[in-house]
Amino acid sequence: MREGHGSSKGLVLKTIAVTPSGALSPGPLSLSAIVAGATLGPLGGFYVALGHMAFELPYVAILWLGAGRVESYIRRFERLLATVTALFILYFAYLTAQVALAGFELSEGEYKILTPLHAVAAGVFFTAFNPYFLLWWVSVGYPLISEASRGGGQGLMVMYLSHVWMDYVWLVLLAATGGLVAKLGLAYNVLMGVVAAVLVALAADMVARAWTGKRILPL
């Protein structure tokens, strides 16, 4: 038991150390939490994280079961995945731009063009079709899965819980930031305009990386 406890503690610490390289990296998931927060408050980030986890947990479980060919399939369909994600990012940018262009013509209640279902869907789509997220788990994150496999199902649960709480905290914090800015009038519209522009740039960067191997953004 002591050895198992020590092993679990080590796995928790490793997971906490590695997770920020993926969870805190800038991308459409993080920006979607800000947008969701601007219309739904901190709960918007929770909904985005819920959608993210709805795909991530089964995906990690498949890798844990030993799906060794996953990486080759991801790389084979990288262009398709990146294109689908870029299209969804552009749709999200359109929703965000709607708010930015509305100015003060809308009342506070009318700003809520983003529903909880939109936020959950954003979490799912920006996770499931993002080849770089998928590759993170078969590269940077895979040693965590491999170590967790030695502890069976309990090891997987310890590792994943040590990882996913950071996703929830980060996305809720981003959503709370979006919610606070939403109360600042013009600053809110400016933020939404900036977020919409960055989303378009991220979509272009994702397609460029997948189809040409070159980056547009230095991220």
Cβ pair 84, 210 in contact under 8 A = no
pLDDT of residue 51: 96
User: Alpha-carbon torsion 132, 135, 141, 144, what sign?
Assistant: positive
Q: How confident is the model at residue 106 (pLDDT cuts 50, 70, 90)?
A: very low
CB 138 within 8 A of CB 70: yes
Q: How far is CA 158 from the centre of its chain?
A: 21
Q: Within a 10 A sphere around the Cβ of 32, how many other Cβ atoms?
A: 35
User: According to the model, what pLDDT value does residue 111 have?
Assistant: 46
DSSP label at residue 41? T
Residue 104: pLDDT band with limits 50, 70, 90: very low
Instruction: Tell me if 170 sits within 8 A of 24, measured CB to CB.
Output: yes
- pLDDT tens for 73-94 read 777 777 888 888 888 888 878 8
The amino acid sitting at 75 is R
Question: What is the per-residue pLDDT across 94-103, written as a single tens digit (0 to 9) for each?
Answer: 877 876 676 5
Q: For the whole model, what pTM was predicted?
A: 0.77
Write down the domain spans for the chain. 2-17+25-212
* Nearest in space to 209 (alpha carbons), one of 201, 140, 184: 201
Mean pLDDT of 67-78: 69
Q: Which of 4-8, 18-22, 32-36, 74-78 comes out lowest in average pLDDT?
A: 4-8
Q: How many other C-beta atoms can be found within 10 angstroms of the C-beta atom of residue 205?
A: 20
Q: Specify whether the CB–CB gap between 50 and 43 falls below 8 A.
A: no
What DSSP state is assigned to residue 26? -
